[in-house]
Amino acid sequence: MQVLDGKALAETIKEELRQEVDQIRLAGGKIPHLAAVLVGADPASEVYVRNKVQSCEQVGFQSTLIRRGSETTQEEVLEIVRRLNDDPDVDGFIVQLPLPKHIDEDTVNLAIRPEKDVDGFTPVNIGRMTLGLPAYLPATPNGIMTMLERYGIETEGKEVVVLGRSNIVGTPMSILLSRKGNPGNATVTLCHSRTQDMAAHTRRADILIAAIGIPEMVTAELVKPGAVVIDVGINRVEDASRSRGFRLCGDVDYASLEPIVSAMTPVPGGVGPMTVVSLLMNTLKASKGRLS
């Protein structure tokens, strides 16, 4: 089985980005600047934002982290978004999700200007992606597409099953893989909690993408021998044998699939690092003022 090592690939791409930023600096050009807004104290969000800031430093980007407490009002968050929209030095920014429950995430998302939406979540970028036009692609799906391309995973004419229909991963993933291009040109089935006989779909998949948020739900009997498996899930489960009292796992039962699949992403160290790299790639595009 081939391990699709997202951590190693992300380091390779970050080195490519660092070299490009060095050339921009030597030419006296504008250094890409990514800002992140973190509201509240969600532990996972803290980790994600810290990784993004560290990655910016690694490739030579400027980065700004704006922290606010969980008591911050929606209007205060919207004011931060307005300031970042209007700041010519900030090329792109993200508002880290989830937000506290009293803040409407859709309202905040709609306030972000599309040209600074390096997370690829605004309706303009989603619409352009759907039409096959240049866009800032959602970071996790774009990271998976980059991984498939760099590891030479053939998608044309393949049966792909995506588990999960979120706007962040599942739905855009199904669109990207069904579009013309490489990777792409696949026949895609999108499964979700209301799908009848999910196993009938997953067992015929040449490529299975699990983004359903249920720890180790995908077991060997659900997977076609020789399939490529992309595990997007990252779940914290109790484990008394660990010093921390928990372990991280994906949506896939890695141990049971390892003997039968042809390639698979680990958790952690698979899709997660590629998500961060995609955000950096979008920020570099934004700093150049173009989507293509």
DSSP readout, 154-217? --TT-EEEEE---TTTHHHHHHHHHSSSSS---EEEEE-TT-SSHHHHHTT-SEEEE-S--TT-
What are the structure tokens assigned to 50, written together? 């810290």
Q: What is the CA radius of gyration of the chain?
A: 19
Same domain? 75 vs 199: no
Residue 52 annotated in active site: yes
Which residue is catalytic, options 96, 116, 251, 285?
96
Q: How far apart are CA 115 and CA 184, in angstroms?
A: 25
Query: Any bridge partners for residue 159, and if so which?
Result: 187
Per-residue model confidence (pLDDT) at position 11: 97
Which residue is catalytic, options 14, 52, 158, 224?
52
Q: Which domain holds residue 68?
A: 28-113
Q: What is the CATH number of the domain that holds 243?
A: 3.40.50.720
Which residue is catalytic, options 91, 119, 206, 231?
119
Binding residues, as ranges, are 164-166, 234
Same domain? 108 vs 192: no
pLDDT in tens, the chain (292 residues): 999 999 999 999 999 999 999 999 999 999 999 999 999 988 878 888 889 999 999 999 999 999 999 999 999 999 999 999 999 999 999 999 999 999 999 999 999 999 999 999 999 999 999 999 999 999 999 999 999 999 999 999 999 999 999 999 999 999 999 999 999 999 999 999 999 999 999 999 999 999 999 999 999 999 999 999 999 998 888 877 888 887 889 999 999 999 999 999 999 999 999 999 999 999 999 999 866 4
Same domain? 105 vs 161: no
Q: How far apart are CA 100 and CA 238, in angstroms?
A: 25
Q: How far apart are CA 273 and CA 26, in angstroms?
A: 28
Specify if 291 maps to a domain: no
Same domain? 168 vs 250: yes
Per-residue model confidence (pLDDT) at position 43: 80
Last residue of a domain, one of 95, 113, 131: 113
Q: How far apart are CA 3 and CA 270, in angstroms?
A: 9
Specify if 183 maps to a domain: yes
Please report how many Cα atoms fall inside a 13 Å half-sphere around the Cα of residue 72, on the Cβ side.
Answer: 21
Per-residue model confidence (pLDDT) at position 290: 67
Residue 96 annotated in active site: yes
Sign of the torsion angle spanned by Cα atoms 210, 219, 260, 2: positive
Same domain? 56 vs 92: yes
Same domain? 102 vs 175: no
Name the one residue in this structure whose structure tokens are 């532990």. Answer: 43
Closest by CA to 58, choosing from 97, 30, 93, 32, is 32
Between the alpha carbon of residue 227 and those of residues 171, 172, 207, 230, the distances in Å are 21, 21, 6, 10
Q: What is the CATH number of the domain that holds 102?
A: 3.40.50.10860
Specify if 201 maps to a domain: yes
Same domain? 155 vs 70: no
Per-residue model confidence (pLDDT) at position 291: 63
Per-residue model confidence (pLDDT) at position 74: 97
Specify if 280 maps to a domain: no
Q: How far apart are CA 84 and CA 87, in angstroms?
A: 5
| pTM score, whole prediction | 0.94
Binding residues for NADP(+), as ranges, are 164-166, 234
21 Cβ partners below 8 Å, 6+ apart? 31, 32, 59, 60, 61, 284
Same domain? 48 vs 164: no
Same domain? 265 vs 217: yes
Specify if 157 maps to a domain: yes
Give the total number of structural domains in the chain.
Answer: 2
